[in-house]
Structure 1
Amino acid sequence: MPRPTGHRPPPRPADPPGTPARRAALRLLDAVLRRGLAIEQALDTSTQGLAPSDRGLAHAIAAEVLRRLTDLDDLIDSATRNRLPDDAKARFVLRIALVQALRLGTPPHAAISTALALVDGGPRKLVHGVFGTLMRQNAVLTDPPALPGDVYARIAANWGARVADAACAAIAAPPPLDLTMHPAHDASWPNAPSLRPGHYRLPSDSTVLELPGFAEGHWWVQDIAASLPARLIGGGSGRALDLCAAPGGKTLQLAAAGWDVTAVDVSESRLARLHENLERTGLSATVVAADLLRWAPGFEADAVLLDAPCSATGIFRRHPDVLHRVRPRLIAEMAELQAQLLPRAARWVRPGGLLVYATCSLEPEEGEQQIERFLAQHPEFAIDPILPDELPEGLSAHPRGWLRTLPGMLAEQGGLDGFFMVRLMRVAA
């Protein structure tokens, strides 16, 4: 008598085309929202084995979810009887399906079919039901998007509601692509605006690797705000230190301006990109992998640029993950690290030399407050005020001589990242 084989469930249908990219987007969102990683930090692991086009799609989906997360969750909550936990897989999958249908132009049937492949059982029915309800209701995502409540409150407390509203507008779409030109190849780009000499602004959908001059090293990608700290040092032939240098845009600027540059960063993996950029552009610098709290150059430099580690809240347009993973504790930790690095970097400036301090942060603790405390403790340094002709039209230095860039500035030209920067001179030994 044959042995009973028992009941076997029918084989699961093959995943619809495009599912691997959505599954990678799910991994990216999990890395950011549940584990607190930066999206770029999680990208390689989360998209391993994908074709470049699928890798790009996964990144685009995850980034758009992060731009619209508050509004997406409001939609989901409006269509569920009991609120889903923030970390529920069904919520994550619904975010992915909805952002495709409502923002990325994916037909609803394709958005939901690839999303359902990411869940099983009861959550699968829930995802299908909520998505269908919202589609029948003609749900929309409003413009501008809403910031997370705590982020909006923090920006408004520091800079006012008008700047916080401008930050909402700034996350609505990816920002333009900014290029800094190699001085030996500074040919104009047709129809591309230039906010400063040697800088051009291209549409956000430009494909970097396909642009003319990339392989030849004629330019590198660098937001206009990120290009200003090295511009404050200007040209020279002496020794310059670029501290916390990776991925290397400022190193390239200093080397192109004639400086003998030593570039230091603690991350060997990030320094690999700096090496690649130096090779591509034909520029040279001494590159050192070291912890600045333990390393010393053995010489006094004519110019020191400290682009200090920070919360990175100023670059949320390009990295919307910071809106959701940066908390007051991280801001405080970064401010404490900056308070250690700044006086250490100051020791390496020769009398009469320059020290430029910069952070891509919107937090006063990492900018204005940091410098006021440093100057009170180091009378051998004084602010060398930033001059109007050193800045793009539409920006101006603070009366104290430093520069603070904020959401809403240069909005008609496409905006810029949030930065603080100040140029100091060592006026005594």
Structure 2
Amino acid sequence: MHGITPGLPVRRAALRLLDAVFRRGETLEQAEGPALADIRKAPDRALTKAIAGETLRWLTDIDALIDSATKQNLPEDAKARMVLRLMLAQALRLDTPPHAVIATGLPLLAGGPRRLAHGVFSALVKQGAALPEVPTLPERVTARWGADKAAAIAPGLAYPPELDLALKDTGATEARAVQMGGISLAPGHVRLPRGAAVESLADFKAGDWWVQDLAASIPARLLGAGEGRNVLDLCAAPGGKTMQLAASGWNVTALDLSKRRLDLLKDNLKRTGLKAAPVRADALTWEPKHRFDAILIDAPCSATGTCRRHPDVLHRIGKGQIAEMVELQRALTSRAAGWLNPGGWLVYAVCSLEAEEGESQAAWIDAELGLTPQPVTAEELPAGLTPTPEGWLRTHPGMLADHGGLDGFFVARWVKQ
């Protein structure tokens, strides 16, 4: 490492992360392995991801600043623009001193337009350039969601989310919140300030809780107490909903296609001491040995509802990917409906903000699958959330803003008569 500017490897790794998102359409999580291969220390890895994440979170506004300081707009894929994005994200969001930003940013343009990048960055700093209080969403996202919906969601994207925990023992909610210095927004839930190191928290190894966004916990809550009945958790890994259902007394079959993700589910079950039957199979070809009293489908989706924790989705996902997900969701739901016992409940959920994957799918299920809607009630939901007039639930990052927001989900429920 002799002769290398301190902090430079972190910036190179952040640039690799952005390159993976924009050039190859990868998620930040997919890109982490190769991009951070030479970043060993946990704080350095965290900083790398923070730089890339803040760049993506504020990209539209950062680009507007860059364009305001150049006579001719840099191409979208120009390396100079990408490096300037990283530099401005550090200066304006992570409070990195300008001299440190320059020292670790300009070497990324070896053989390139360093003078241009230096001039643009210095001019913006001298002008006192600042970002708005709320990030501006990409144009194509606003066009999909509509201006009103985008305006409601944007405030929830200004900061990474706080840390939500789901408790194995809902009766210990109040005591656990006090013990851990957090707040609770629902039985079995504790919210801690962002940045908490999960493995160092009280009773992690004891398995008394697991990490799960409050919105993600709602689908399983809508099935209530299991009382020994059989439930299928479809697309179950890494297991948050499986553990909820097991803790609520259900006899859980946890189905997933991915071996890696199913291994995570098994590890989570082992840590928490909860019981379920993991099954690795393709739900489009698998045939169960018995029918179920309830089925929870946390369907594969665009995951745009996770944009406050995964801002890359705002820049990767388009209509093509959404259309592919819609077809898969319908195929899975059609098969699952046939596996229900009479009187059995079906809960359909997606962590998506796209109407095609949520509201439109619920209307399709109403019309095509012969199930009877079982409306969600306000009493079943965390305080501050209300069902739609149709009896569905729609959440987005701008909701519960005073308490730190929540992920975007669509959830609906039916019964088989």
Letter in 2 for 1:363: E
Matched, 1:261 2:252: yes
* Pairs within 5 Å for 1:9-48: 14-48=3-37
The separation in 2 between residues aligned to 1:306 and 1:360, in whole angstroms, is 11
- Pick from 325, 339, 342: which aligns with 1:348? 339
More displaced stretch, 289-298 vs 186-195: 186-195
- 1:312–1:359 Cα contact (<8 Å) kept: yes
Paired position in structure 2 for 1:377:
368
SS of residue paired to 2:164: strand
The separation in 2 between residues aligned to 1:372 and 1:97, in whole angstroms, is 46
- 1:167–1:408 Cα contact (<8 Å) kept: yes
- 2:337–2:369 Cα contact (<8 Å) kept: no
Structure 1 runs not aligned, ≥5 long: 1-11
Paired position in structure 2 for 1:62:
52
The TM-score normalised by the length of structure 2 is 0.95
- 1:383–1:423 Cα contact (<8 Å) kept: yes
The 4+ residue runs of structure 1 with deviation greater than 3 A are 184-187
SS of residue paired to 2:113: helix
The separation in 1 between residues aligned to 2:158 and 2:394, in whole angstroms, is 22
- 2:157–2:397 Cα contact (<8 Å) kept: no
Deviations 1:18-67 (A, max 9, x none): 11111111111111122111111111221113222211111111000000
Paired position in structure 1 for 2:129:
139
Letter in 1 for 2:249: G
* Pairs within 5 Å for 1:155-170: 155-156=145-146, 161-170=147-156
RMSD over aligned Cα atoms: 1.6
- 2:236–2:242 Cα contact (<8 Å) kept: yes
SS of residue paired to 2:195: coil
Paired position in structure 2 for 1:8:
none
Paired position in structure 2 for 1:304:
295
How many angstroms does 1:139 deviate by?
A: 1.4
The separation in 1 between residues aligned to 2:8 and 2:208, in whole angstroms, is 38
SS of residue paired to 2:55: helix
How many angstroms does 1:255 deviate by?
A: 1.1
How many angstroms does 1:86 deviate by?
A: 1.0
SS of residue paired to 2:38: coil
How many angstroms does 1:15 deviate by?
A: 2.2
SS of residue paired to 2:109: coil
Letter in 2 for 1:41: Q
- Pick from 240, 249, 269: which aligns with 2:240? 249
The TM-score normalised by the length of structure 1 is 0.92
Matched, 1:286 2:277: yes
Matched, 1:181 2:167: yes
Larger Rg: 1
* Pairs within 5 Å for 1:223-234: 223-234=213-224
Letter in 2 for 1:18: G
How many angstroms does 1:264 deviate by?
A: 1.2
Letter in 2 for 1:404: R
Deviations 1:126-152 (A, max 9, x none): 222221222222211121111101112
Paired position in structure 1 for 2:190:
200
Letter in 1 for 2:168: H
Paired position in structure 2 for 1:366:
357
Paired position in structure 1 for 2:225:
235
SS of residue paired to 1:366: coil
Paired position in structure 2 for 1:325:
316
The separation in 2 between residues aligned to 1:75 and 1:196, in whole angstroms, is 41
Paired position in structure 1 for 2:381:
391
Letter in 2 for 1:189: A
- 1:163–1:407 Cα contact (<8 Å) kept: no
The separation in 1 between residues aligned to 2:117 and 2:303, in whole angstroms, is 34
How many angstroms does 1:13 deviate by?
A: 8.8
The separation in 2 between residues aligned to 1:136 and 1:402, in whole angstroms, is 50
- 2:340–2:416 Cα contact (<8 Å) kept: yes
Distance 1:133 1:189, change over 3 A: same
The separation in 2 between residues aligned to 1:409 and 1:138, in whole angstroms, is 32
Structure 2 runs not aligned, ≥5 long: none
The separation in 1 between residues aligned to 2:153 and 2:373, in whole angstroms, is 29
How many angstroms does 1:89 deviate by?
A: 1.2
* Pairs within 5 Å for 1:67-216: 67-156=57-146, 161-183=147-169, 186=173, 187-190=175-178, 191-216=181-206
Matched, 1:338 2:291: no
SS of residue paired to 1:276: helix
The separation in 1 between residues aligned to 2:143 and 2:85, in whole angstroms, is 24
- 1:264–1:288 Cα contact (<8 Å) kept: yes
The separation in 1 between residues aligned to 2:253 and 2:77, in whole angstroms, is 44
More displaced stretch, 47-56 vs 244-253: 47-56
Matched, 1:219 2:219: no
